[in-house]
Structure 1
């Protein structure tokens, strides 16, 4: 990683498309990505680390505007750590609520599966 990673390498590592990587840079989620002598982007370790967090935020439903807000707070310096913490805690609460709802929904599906298994078992023993 001495020279940095290419768009393709970062796409493979993160699961994001090259288009998404360029878009993340365009909307300000990433700092400007340095380029090599041929003008190709070369992602640094810190870019990949930020992408790891951003993909987790997005996968858990954080809106891009909130992700942009978080990155802006990070760029602004350490004086706003409380605001960053509050943003992440609010998102955590949202994620926990979603998990709870999914567990409830899964329980309904599991009950239905159990019922069908019971019907099939009864049919096979008849």
Structure 2
């Protein structure tokens, strides 16, 4: 890697905007970036490593306040290693819980997809005269369809508004 990168180069490599990089510096998420003689920010390799770690924290759902707390501890050096470790262990546990929940959701989706493919396969094997499923249904999905409620329609008398059970 080059000795230093401009903000535009860092933005291109990280996917962050120049505005976001300046914001991160302003709020203290990244240390003040050294400047070239013309005042242009020049990011070093260590800055890129820290940004890569911040992006990992962001990707895993750590809120910016959590990242700021971690950055504050980091600025204290080795004295805060135990606190940083505990913070990352807690965050990892949260990420693992979310990953497990996503895994369960993915399995449910895969089962539903397999169910619909089985319906499609059965429908292709038996020819249909009308091209629709029986009883006007769009599928035989017993997992999501509900039986039609029995409707009792009263026998109406023409123009009188009387029903069969309401005769005089």
Give the secondary structure class of the aligned counterpart of 2:75.
helix
| CA distance, structure 2, for counterparts of residue 37 and residue 125 of structure 1 | 76
Equivalent residue number for residue 14 of structure 1:
14
Give the secondary structure class of the aligned counterpart of 2:72.
helix
| CA distance, structure 2, for counterparts of residue 125 and residue 22 of structure 1 | 62
Deviation string 1:38-96 (CA, Å, 9 cap, x unpaired) is 21111111110000000000110111111111111111121111101000000000000
Equivalent residue number for residue 36 of structure 2:
36
Pair 1:58 & 2:58 matched: yes
Equivalent residue number for residue 109 of structure 2:
109
> 1 or 2, which has the higher helix percentage?
1
Q: Please tell me whether Structure 1 or Structure 2 has the larger radius of gyration of its CA atoms.
A: 2
**Residue pairs, 1:61-80, within 5 angstroms:** 61-80=61-80
TM-score (norm 1): 0.94
Structure 1 consecutive aligned stretches of length 4 or more whose deviation exceeds 2 Å: none
Give the secondary structure class of the aligned counterpart of 2:79.
helix
Question: Gapped runs of 5+ residues in structure 2?
Answer: 127-168
Question: Gapped runs of 5+ residues in structure 1?
Answer: none
TM superposition shift of 1:37: 2.0
**How many residues are paired up?**
125
Deviation string 1:22-42 (CA, Å, 9 cap, x unpaired) is 111111111101111221111
TM superposition shift of 1:21: 0.9
